[in-house]
Every structure is written in structure tokens, then in C-alpha cells.
Amino acid sequence: MRTSNEKSLGSLIHLSTLSQYIIPLGNYIFPLLLWTTRKEKSDFIDHNGKQALNFQLSILLYSLIAIIISIPTFIFWLINTIEKLEMNNQVITMREVITTQNITGMVLLGLIALILIAFLKLSEFFLIIYASVKSANGEQYNYPLTIKFIK
């Protein structure tokens, strides 16, 4: 049987990850502080702390991979497009750079990666709220697609 204090702290651990929108790295610092203070006293708190931190680290990894894909593809595409236009000795405007003829598979790959980042951040927000509600009800919640960095 979980006490109301355990349920509240478990929920607060999940909600503390939302501090990332106010304080840089708050989504790692606050859950880590809350989790380490009570992890030995309660298995429920230990589970919630590990889940919250593993989920944040997984989201960071997925976002970094998407950024590593999207930024170089856009830079490479932009440089190639400008070089093609300069070969023709034309005055370059943004209207000429971004046309349907200049959009390549690399641009689409970069756009897909950016859309993935947006989807990750949006789903992260709703999954944090969902995990917090589950924790407040005394249920153990496992985030989807989470890599278990902390076991």
C-alpha cells in the first residue's frame, strides 16, 4: 500500500521534468534531487525517479540524433543550391533558393527530422502529465520507447 506522501512525491518527480521550460537542465536536476532523497525508503519513489530520468535521457538522445541529421542536411542543401545559382552569375534571392526545383531528398530528410523533434517534444509533454496522473493514483507507469540508462 502506497502512502499519499509517496504518491505525491512520485507525481512531483514526473512534473518536475517540466521545469525544463523555465530552467535549463531542470528536467534532469530536479527529478534527480527528488529521487535521490527518497529512493532507499520507497520502491515506488525509486521506480518513478528512474522512469522520469530514463525518459528524459532517451528524449535527449532521440532529439540529438534528429538534430544531427537535420542541420547538416539543410546546410549542405543550401550551399549546393547557392553554388548552382552562382555558376549562372545570377543575383541570389531567397525566392530563387527555395523553389520546388531545388528541394531534394536531403531537404525532405531534414524536414522529417525537424518534424520528429516537434513530435517528440509534444509527446514528451503529454506523457509527463499522464505519468504524473498515474503516479498520483499509486500506479507504476513505464514510459514508451525509453532506454534504461539507470537500472
At 109 the pLDDT is 81
pLDDT tens digits, 87-142: 666 665 555 555 555 566 777 888 888 898 999 999 999 999 999 999 999 999 99
98: which DSSP letter? S
Supply the Cα-derived Rg of the chain in whole angstroms.
22
Rounded distance between C-alpha atoms, residue 91 and residue 33, angstroms: 56
In the chain, at which residue ranges do the beta strands (DSSP E only) sit? none
pLDDT tens digits, 119-132: 999 999 999 999 99
pLDDT tens digits, 16-53: 999 999 999 989 999 999 999 988 988 999 999 999 99
Would you call 147 helix, strand, or coil by DSSP?
coil
Rounded distance between C-alpha atoms, residue 144 and residue 33, angstroms: 23
The DSSP element (H or E) to which 138 belongs, if any, is: none
